[in-house]
Amino acid sequence: MLNYLWGAMLLLGIVYGAFNGRLPEITAAALDSAKEAVTLCITMTGVMALWVGLMEIARKSGVIGRATKKIQPFISFMFPGLPREHKAREYITTNIIANVFGLGWAATPAGLKAMEALKELEEERKTHPVGGRRAAPKGTASNEMCTFLILNISSLQLIPVNIIAYRSQYGSVNPAAVIAPSIAATLLSAAAAVIFCKVMEGRQSVWKP
Amino acid sequence: METVIQILLYISDMLVPFLILYVVAHGLLVRRPVYDDFVKGARDGFKTVFQIMPTLVGLMVAVGILRASGFLDFLSETLGNVTELVHFPSELVPLTIVRMFSASAATGLALDIFKQYGTDSYLGLATSILMGCTETIFYTMSVYFMTAKVKKTRYTLAGALLATFVGVAASIVLAGMMK
C-alpha cells in the first residue's frame, strides 16, 4: 500500500511541479525535508524516551496490570460470547491497554495474537457452541473480530505522545493543550463504535445455536 | 461552552505531571528500582524512534515535494468548494483521506500543516486532535484480517468509518471551540 502511495506522491509532485515551472523549489524541498526529518526525530527521541521510560516503571510496578483488571467488565460487555478463560481475552485486553497508554508498538503484536486466538475460537465453535454461539462460515469475520477491530480503529488513547512532541518541535506555545480535547474526541468516536457494534451484534442472530 | 474548554485545558495541563507523579510514587511504594526501570524503558524509546527515522525521511520528502509543486494547494482549492458547504476546512481534506491509509504519510501531511499554518492555529489544533483520535482503517483491517485469514469482513468497515467520521467531526468542533 505504502509503496504505491509514496511512489504516487513523488511522481505526482514532480510532474505537476514541472508543468508549473517549480522544479528548483522541488529540489530545495526534497533536500530540506530530508534534513528536517532527522532534526524532528532527534527532538522526538527525548519525548519518546521519557514516555516509554515512564511506562516501563508503570509496567514493572503493576500499574498496567491493575488497569488490565479494571477494564475486564468492559471487555465482558463488548465480547459477551468470549469465555472468561479464553486466551483471546488476554490479548484483546493487552492490545486495548497498550493503545490507551500510547504504546503502539506493544499494541500491534498483541492485536495480531488476539486475531489468531479469535480464529481458534471459531475452530472450537465448529465442534460445539462456545459462549452460546456457533462458528461463522469459513473466511467470514466473527462478531468478536468485528467488534475488536472497530474498537481498535476508534483509537482510544490517553495521551497522544507523538503529536505533543511534534507540536513542541514546531513552536507550539502549549503543546499539551490538545490532550483533553483529544481524549474528548477519542471518547466520542469510541462511544460511536461501541453503540454501532452493539446494534450490529443484536441484528446478527444467524449463527446462534 | 467557555467553561467546558477551560476545564479541558485545565485537565490538559494537569495530566502529564499527575501521571508522572502517580507512576513514580506507585513504583517507589512497591519498592521497584524506578530509575533503573526508567532508563531501560527510555532505551527502548530511543530504538523505536530510530527505527521510524528512515520512513519519516522518505515521507517528509514526498510531502515536501507535493507542497513545493503547488499540488496540495490545488487539491485543497478544488475540494474546498465542496467541503466548505459542510464547514469542513479544505486544508484538512488530504490529511483526512491519507490518514485512513497510512499513519506515517499522514504524519508527513500533519507536520506540513503545522509548518504552513502554525500548531496553535485553528487548523493546527484540529490536526493535532484528529491525528490522536483516528486510526489507519485500511492498513489495520488488512493486516489484522490477513492474520485471521478472513475475507468477508461484514460490518467492520462501516463501523470503522463511522468511528473515524465521529472522530474527525469532534476534532473540528473542538478545535473551533478552542480558538
Q: Does residue B173 fall inside a structural domain?
A: yes
Grid cell of B114 as nine digits: 503545522
How many domains, chain B? 1
- pLDDT-derived band at A2 (thresholds 50, 70, 90) equals low
Q: Which of A21-35, A36-50, A168-182, B14-28 has the lowest mean pLDDT?
A: A36-50
Residue B13 has pLDDT above 80, yes or no: yes
Asked if the Cβ–Cβ distance from A185 to B13 is below 8 Å, we say no
Q: Residue B148's domain spans which residues?
A: 55-178
Average pLDDT estimate for A8-34: 93
Query: To probe the interface with A, which of B78, B128, B153 has the most A CB atoms within 10 Å?
Result: B128
Asked if the Cβ–Cβ distance from A58 to B23 is below 8 Å, we say yes
Grid cell of A97 as nine digits: 491497554
Grid cell of B145 as nine digits: 484480517
> What average pLDDT is seen over chain A?
88
Q: Does residue A166 fall inside a structural domain?
A: yes
Residue A168 has pLDDT above 60, yes or no: yes
Residue of A nearest to B34 (CA): A57
- For residues B28 and A191, the answer to whether their CB atoms sit within 8 Å is no
Which among A21, A41, A22 is positioned nearest to A30, based on CA atoms? A22
CA distance A182 to B172: 11
Q: Residue B160's pLDDT is what?
A: 95
Q: Does residue A161 fall inside a structural domain?
A: yes
Q: What is the pLDDT of residues B14-49, one digit of tens each?
A: 888 898 999 999 999 999 999 999 999 999 888 878
CA distance B174 to B27: 35
Which among B137, B172, B155 is positioned nearest to A140, based on CA atoms? B155
Asked if the Cβ–Cβ distance from B170 to A13 is below 8 Å, we say no
Q: How many CB pairs under 8 A join A and B?
A: 358
Q: Does residue B24 fall inside a structural domain?
A: no
Residue A79 has pLDDT above 60, yes or no: yes
φ, ψ of residue A140 in degrees (nearest 5): -110, 140
Q: Residue A206's pLDDT is what?
A: 53
Q: Does residue B94 fall inside a structural domain?
A: yes
Residue % of chain A over a pLDDT of 70: 95
φ, ψ of residue A198 in degrees (nearest 5): -65, -40
Residue % of chain B over a pLDDT of 90: 46
Q: Residue A176's domain spans which residues?
A: 62-203
Q: Which residues contact B54 (CB under 8 A, 6 or more apart)?
A: none
Q: Residue A26's pLDDT is what?
A: 94
How many domains, chain A? 1
As beta bridge partners, residue A140 has B152
